[in-house]
A and B are shown apart, each in its own frame.
Chain A
């Protein structure tokens, strides 16, 4: 068993890369992931990437914010320390709404930023890890898990046929910016 962990096909052109994905899929070679410097139309559908559930998460974060604001105001203004403001009842719901709205937005935004950092392993102070540095610049990278059993020579020739400018064999999963 070799030490090679990932095979990377490095393309200079997005169309050729898409062609490469098709070629690999035709030959039943499982693609680990694809890294591109820019978003590419229709690539999720082609790779069968599941739809992000960030919307569900956002809704949950938002509702948490609404409830947090409501409980806070309810406790302070109705239960703990009632005050007479303009002769209104202590539990004056319309007054609560702006704060409930603001905390909904705040919790939702922070929650989504947090989820994004968590799912991309990217948060301030952490060196980002990438498989190939040039995927952040001018290259389109297809990564194949070398331990999956596909023949390396076959993967190599398929990638080159599709127009890969370079095929790399990485012994480590990530190289970092450090």
Chain B
């Protein structure tokens, strides 16, 4: 390996096909939302889809910040040259957080999104709608506390995300180890906060859609899903950037690491998914099995597609070392895993909100495309604001010479 001459002030320019396509996708999304709200019968379905994509969007950006923190705490060197991509995702988190809070708030106040626990009379012993179980949970599951938790969790994640991004920007200007040490410190705090609060965040946003049912595995199950999908998005962005001539310093070894991450955490996702499923299946307690009964009877196709896309695909296609190092194959698997986690969220949300009125059509596809467009547009605009490499990162040389 000789000495490398890379342009360390290389900057991404967000223009041309990427910009046009993301705006087209945004328009398609807007059209799908307008179509969904034009017919009263489709309101709930549209809202469930908005929740799905808003949650997906926020989770992916949160995990971008989580990735940054993990790299700092592990004092990882290999990733130093690709940190700008998760940083762009972390910068998008405040926007994603606002969208998710708005969707949850509108869902609570104007629609029956959380109707399992948020309906008139559920906690009133005199009402015919009185539900003893929900009344017992009302201390935790009530509108102000619910929205307050959403705001606080997403707010704290956003603050840490922006903090890590800003420290890296300062590092570009000032150099030295000061920013790195501070990033390390804040990352440690962030990981503790994140680890304890993401399960609660998932309980709130998704699990409370079916408030009678509960599973302590659910938080980690969602964490695994958001982390894998975020890694897959990072791999896609990096591969596509490299194809259009940017980030020439990213070599197959960096892709290998990302591939290992996607492979390993897909197995972790399956492990948690199965741990939740097996215990419920084996114990066979009606109040727990009802969750899987609904999914298995009415959503059988999605139930199995979920496992095929999120377990079999990465395991069989990414097991081989050469496949992890090949950008074509990693790109295909990453796209499949992303679709797979859409399916995952779909079968988490739909049986609890729209039940038999769920479907797959222009609303689902349109809103998903719209959010992909929004994600692409915002993340790439953020990416274009800073050079593509953190040139003063103390481990930069290790990353540039990364070789497995």
Contact = CB atoms under 8 A, between A and B. Distances in A.
Contact of B277 (A55, A88, A94): A94
Contacts of B278: 94-95, 97-98
Contacts, number: 21
Interface residues of B, number: 11
Contacts of B320: 55
Contacts of B360: none
A172 interface: no
B284 interface: yes
B321 A55 contact: yes
Nearest to B319: A59
Contact of B284 (A55, A86, A97, A98): A86
B284 A87 contact: yes
B279 to A, nearest CB: 10
Interface string A133-148: 0000000000000000
Given A41-B403, A94-B277, A97-B274, A86 B321 contact: no
Interface string A91-109: 0001101100000000000
B282 interface: yes
Interface in B283-337: 284, 319-321
Nearest to B282: A95
A94 B303 CA distance: 15
A94 B273 CA distance: 12
B324 to A, nearest CB: 11
A94 B281 contact: yes
Interface string A71-101: 0000000000000001110000011011000
Given A41-B403, A97-B278, A98-B278, 4 more contacts: A86-B284, A88-B284, A94-B278, A95-B282
Pairs A-B, 3 closest by C-beta atoms: A94-B281, A94-B278, A86-B284
14 contacts: A41-B403, A42-B1, A59-B319, A86-B282, A86-B284, A87-B284, A88-B284, A94-B277, A94-B281, A94-B282, A95-B278, A95-B282, A97-B278, A98-B278
